Structure 1
Amino acid sequence: MSGYTPPTPADGFLDPDHPTLFPRLTEAQIGRLAESAETLSLAPGEVVFEQGQREAPLYVVLSGAIDVIDRQPEGDRYFTQCRPGTFAADTSMFTGEPTIARGVAAGETTLLAVPPGALRALVAGSDELGDLLLRTMITRREWLRGQGLGYERLIGRRSSSEAFAIRELLGRNMVPFSWHDVDADAENRALLERLGVGPEECPVLVRTHSVLRRPTLARVADELGLRARVDGRLFDVVVLGAGPAGLAAAVYAASEGLATLVIERFAPGGQAGTSARIENYLGFPTGLSGSELTQRATLQARKFGAVISSAHGGAPSPRPRKTGHVTWRSATARR
């Protein structure tokens, strides 16, 4: 570990002193986070968080630094560094998605690790610190998408109905991905050969740590964390459908402290989520797109602790159940 050497910084390396993407926390703010955090000491080259990891903590850098790396089949892309007084975290802490980059200790490094549950509770309080953390994470995700970082790569034939269904699932669920037609791009055919994948196994979803050959929609949803892991959990409220009304119900229920589960057949937003522009939505005089509305509403619901599960058709269980409870698959809701 002591001989760790980071990859060469990528073109467009993000300035670690960027005031918006890496705001410096005050001593008081760090003290507030420390109340629910564990202190970690890492050696140079030790992995802080892995790309594709779910439920990763928020890390506050006390000393040392974290190198942030996008791992792809073509090679690692070292695109920024978190330095003392800043924090490493992304909106995946609220959405249940896997993390889209890897973090490695750049030297002898000391961190505060704040568990996702504790962070969500802090942000839900809507104090100054919570607003700063959430605003920074949203801005970072927008920057990452603009740089093409952390994208899933889908390779297939344009005429394939399987590929089209996966493209729609990823797009509607706002998963960053790039589409590549295997028949039109020799580079992608070469990549498939290197991965040992034949054209007959397309569509293929190429991820950092795995290659999914002709995956079902359910497999893709499970791999990307779109389907919540709710086995054995008891909910106060279960909302069927994550259109605007369902998401509003989830926000109101979760903000009152009720354990809330939203089950959506395909993707949050419903029909409104596919609209190019919504002009008659209260509070937005200049209008907004359906995807913007969906993104804001889902993040707001998750901020209060609501669980949203997509590609997870829900129906009441036909089996007998205990009085006072209704069961959806393996999630249980109070009557």
Structure 2
Amino acid sequence: MADFKFISLDTKPTAQISYSFHEAATGVQPLLLVCLNGLGLPQEAWGPAIAKFKELQGASSPAILTYDRYGQGQTVDRDPNDANAPDPSHGHDVVAVIEDLRQLISQIAKDKLNISNVNYLPLIFMANSIGCALARLYAQEYAGTVAGLLLLDSYIANTDFVSAFPDPDAEGFDPSTLPAGIPVDSLRGTRMGMKKIFHPDVGNKEGFSRKNFRSLLPASDGPALKGPGGHGPFLTVVGHDFDTFAAESFKMGNAESVIQAYINPYWHKYNEGLAKMTDAERSKGPLQAPNAGHFIQRDNPDFVAQELHELVSKVASNAV
């Protein structure tokens, strides 16, 4: 069971963030594994995968940090800078989230690892959903600091999600072009469902706006990332199980046939691009996590732990 504590960022001293810190095994080289949540599941959801990973890693387990962003999970405080936001559900953007993450890592490195310059602390990100986009942007902004990334069903940062499907109400649309078994009404309904939940204009209780993701991450295959020593970071890209995700989507009111025909291949193509962000010999995937929907760490923690164990072992054996 994780021991959750609270910390105030020096840059935002009036609010507290919930976090957990797992000490590294004795004698393990300085390395910090940071778990980055999506919008849907808080830090607590990483627990089973972390526990299994520590069993696999044994005496070489690195330090591990999990946390809940402002307004998420056990972090009940909102981002102080959102106080006067016209729309609280879009109070701050990803740039602010990255700045907070950098500050949190810097304070944890100093307080827990006795490292005052975080640029000399190799990082590994294990991320899900929108956390994967955060991992990419952090690695871009702080080039040379991220040694490894495990991306679990990344948020598709360069789409509004609705555009992943053809528009049956567009001028010149030909219903005969639809795959067999997909009625126009099912396509229209799925587009409406996606717009209501996933469109970047839709806010959230964190106040974490997604409106500028498409401009910040316009492509999935770049820019190329640089890790410590001038090499690309070790990278493992994992996607959801197509059938499991389609079944999940059905529970949300979307037609499984439409999800299988459009969003699953669309997402897989995006993941293929992600796998190209580093040196070919340091890339693995995209894989599909068996029996896992979007929240892979919840649905198949053993699979996540095994992939993380492999990734961390690669980073440790190639440390500069």
Query: Fold conserved (TM > 0.5)?
Result: no
Q: TM-score, normalised by structure 1?
A: 0.26
> Which structure's relative contact order is higher, taking Cα pairs within 8 Å and 6+ residues apart?
2
